[in-house]
Amino acid sequence: MSEALAVVETAGTGTPVPAVSGARQFWRRLRAQRAALVAAAVVALLVLVALAAPLLTALEGQDPTTYHPTLIDSARGGVPIGSFGGVSADHWLGVEPQTGRDMFARLVYGARVSLGVALAATVVQIAIGVTVGVAAALGNRWVDQLLSRATDIIVSMPLMIMSLALLAIVPASFPRPVLVTLVIGLIAWGSIAKIVRAQTLSLKGLDYVSAARLSGWGTWRIARRELLPGLAAPVITYAALLVPANISVEAALSFLGVGVKPPTPSWGQMLTAADVWYQAAPQYLLLPAGALFVTVLALTVLGDGVRTALDPRAASRLRVGTGRKDTTGTENATGKTPENAADGAARGAAGSANEKEASA
């Protein structure tokens, strides 16, 4: 890890950095950003809540799937009985309209689904993206052409539409959270493959990689031992931005009623019917909306912080114009060949467009 960061520093900025201090320097830079620290604390809390969901609900004495017909007023269309949507000592955040399921339990179990799906999808995206990117950069011309075109095609597919379509054809018996994870992971790996390819191409030209090749190492060994560590920084940076994007996609799919299905709780799914109930049970709208907002915001701020800590140039570019003529950002800063300069420049924007797509 420390080695990895140091390598990228050297490759990126031309400033020699002692190898030992890489990881430490990352923490120092991250700690220096107050917003990122707060965000990290929030994220840690959310992860804790998600992990401890069974414990927390046991403490409350409820579970997320039991119906409580006695707590809702069926004469008034299923409005929870009591103020603020039925908040009581037994039901800390009230109950759901119509079903009477416990809101607190559904919310904390929803955190599990949200974070679990987003993190697992990110792992899938990174696995595919890194494999494709490294293979494209190290393979011969044809392999590179083939993989790069495939990546272009994946990037140009509208994520939301493809996810919806894929969700239609898989039998209902397939476990839904796993399916949503796979769909997001299998569709949205294009940007990361592009970044990894560019970074690998630039690392490939460095002396220590040439030295390894001259000592007769095989391609596979070089990829694993010499290149992968150097890819850590850009991959971590991009992964940190993918997680909140994936959370939004899962929420959106579940909101549309094609993602995670009841009885499994999901924040997006909770919002589906919320507009009908906002007067009778405002917490039914506010809690999942607030949870989504806080989670995505915290992860986004943390992602920005990680990027700043790993690539100080990004920070200086954003905060104080450096005057350096340096185009769109980390993804195509390196390894760009002249004939695909247009592509690269447009894709630089496309990279952020993809993040956006996901959060739309």
Partner 1 sequence: MSGFGGFLLRRAVGAVVTLLAISVIVYVVFYVTPGNVAQITCGPRCSPEQVHQVAEQLKLGDPLYLRYWHFLQGLFVGQDFSTGTSVEHCAAPCLGQSYQTDQQVLDIILTKLPVSVSLVLGAMVLWLLLGIGTGVLSAWRRGRVSERVLTAVTLAGTATPVFVIGLVLMIVVCGELQLLPFPQYVNFSDDPEQWAWNLLLPWFSLALIEAAAFARLTRAAMLETLAEDHIRTFRAYGVAERSVVGRHALRGALAPVIALNANNVGSAVGGAVLTETLFGLPGIGQELVHAVKVVDLPVVVGMVLVTGFFVVLANAVADVLYAVADRRVVLA
The CA dihedral of 70, 72, 76, 79, to the nearest 10 degrees, is 180
Handedness of CA 98, 104, 108, 114 (dihedral sign): positive
Q: By C-beta, is 60 or 343 nearer to partner 1?
A: 343
Residue in this structure with the two tokens 């609900």, named with its chain if needed: 57
Q: By C-beta, is 51 or 315 nearer to partner 1?
A: 315
Query: Are 287 and 93 in contact, with CB atoms under 8 Å apart?
Result: yes
Residues within window 70-129 making contact with partner 1, judged by CB under 8 A:
none
Residue 230 makes CB contacts below 8 A (sequence gap 6+) with 4, 7, 8, 11, 199, 203
Residue 15, phi-psi category: left (phi > 0), alpha (psi -120 to 50), beta (remainder): beta
Query: Are 273 and 48 in contact, with CB atoms under 8 Å apart?
Result: no
Q: Strand 79-80 vs strand 72-73: parallel, antiparallel, or unpaired?
A: antiparallel
- Taking the complex as a whole, the smallest distance from the CB of residue 107 to partner 1 amounts, in Å, to 15
Q: Residue count at the site for partner 1 (CB under 8 A)?
A: 69
Is there binding between residue 357 and partner 1 (CB under 8 A)? Answer: yes
Is there binding between residue 348 and partner 1 (CB under 8 A)? Answer: yes
Choose one: 91-99, 111-119, 129-137, 312-320; the region binding partner 1 (CB under 8 A): 312-320
Q: How far is CA 204 from the centre of its chain?
A: 28
Residues within window 11-30 making contact with partner 1, judged by CB under 8 A:
none
Q: Which of 17, 38, 81, 289 binds partner 1 (CB under 8 A)?
A: 289
- Taking the complex as a whole, the smallest distance from the CB of residue 195 to partner 1 amounts, in Å, to 16
Task: Give the x-and-dash track for 242-281 against partner 1 (CB under 8 A).
Answer: --x---x--xx--xxxx---------x--x--xx--xx--
Task: Give the x-and-dash track for 151-190 against partner 1 (CB under 8 A).
Answer: -xx--xxxxxxx-xxxxxx-x-------------------
Q: By C-beta, is 7 or 299 nearer to partner 1?
A: 299
Q: By C-beta, is 222 or 298 nearer to partner 1?
A: 298
Is there binding between residue 41 and partner 1 (CB under 8 A)? Answer: no
Is there binding between residue 359 and partner 1 (CB under 8 A)? Answer: yes
Selection from 269, 266, 271, 264 nearest residue 286 by Cα: 271
Is there binding between residue 296 and partner 1 (CB under 8 A)? Answer: yes
Calpha distance 6→13 (Å, rounded)? 11
Is there binding between residue 42 and partner 1 (CB under 8 A)? Answer: no
Choose one: 117-125, 129-137, 214-222, 285-293; the region binding partner 1 (CB under 8 A): 285-293
Is there binding between residue 341 and partner 1 (CB under 8 A)? Answer: yes
- Taking the complex as a whole, the smallest distance from the CB of residue 65 to partner 1 amounts, in Å, to 23
Identity of residue 223: A
Selection from 102, 93, 116 nearest residue 287 by Cα: 93
Start-end of H helices in 139-175:
141-155, 159-169
Calpha distance 52→77 (Å, rounded)? 34
Selection from 317, 335, 337 nearest residue 326 by Cα: 317
Is there binding between residue 195 and partner 1 (CB under 8 A)? Answer: no
Can you list the positions of beta strands (E) in 4-160? 72-73, 79-80
- Taking the complex as a whole, the smallest distance from the CB of residue 97 to partner 1 amounts, in Å, to 15
The residues binding partner 1 (CB under 8 A) are: 149-150, 152-153, 156-162, 164-169, 171, 244, 248, 251-252, 255-258, 268, 271, 274-275, 278-279, 285, 289, 292-293, 296-297, 300-301, 317-318, 320-323, 325-326, 328, 338-339, 341-343, 345-350, 352-360
